[in-house]
Amino acid sequence: MHCLDDHHKYTLRNFENPEVKQDLFFIKKEPIVQGKPELKTIHDGTTNEEVLEMLIHRLNGLQGKFPCRENAIAITHIETALLWLNKRTADRVKRGVEGKQIV
């Protein structure tokens, strides 16, 4: 894993051929006006929550084929992380600050 753009763009190695790489982009937003809370999208991409949902799906599939305690524990912890990120978003929506940079 290599970070290319300050927590927004990553290059990942393939497992069996580490010379082959693939990029993963996260949504990137910046203030429309410096010092103001409104943000604009600089480049579109995925979210932490979407990646965690994908990992849960993948691990559940693997758990069905190759069940083990470690997979079950990993799934539980990823589900917990997703729960907290979703709670953070719900709290921000309730406060009316979702999608804004609080300065």
Supply 54's token pair.
């994908």
**CA–CA separation, 102 vs 31, rounded Å?**
10
Report pLDDT digits (tens) over 2-11.
999 989 999 9
Report pLDDT digits (tens) over 28-70.
999 999 888 899 999 999 999 999 999 999 999 999 999 999 9
Calculate the CA dihedral of residues 90, 96, 98, 100 and round it to 10 degrees: -160
As a whole number, mean pLDDT of residues 7-35 equals 95
Q: Which range among 13-17, 29-33, 78-82, 99-103 shows the weakest confidence by mean pLDDT?
A: 99-103
Strand partners, 21: 13
Could you tell me the CA-to-CA distances from 25 to 3, 29, 49, 73 in Å, in that order?
10, 12, 13, 27
Between β-strands 2-3 and 9-13, what pairing exists: parallel, antiparallel or unpaired? antiparallel
Better-predicted residue by pLDDT, 102 or 76: 76
For residue 35, the model assigns a pLDDT of 86
For residue 103, the model assigns a pLDDT of 61
This prediction has a pTM of 0.88
Report pLDDT digits (tens) over 75-89.
999 999 999 999 999
Could you tell me the CA-to-CA distances from 88 to 43, 50, 85, 93 in Å, in that order?
23, 15, 5, 9
Between β-strands 28-31 and 2-3, what pairing exists: parallel, antiparallel or unpaired? unpaired
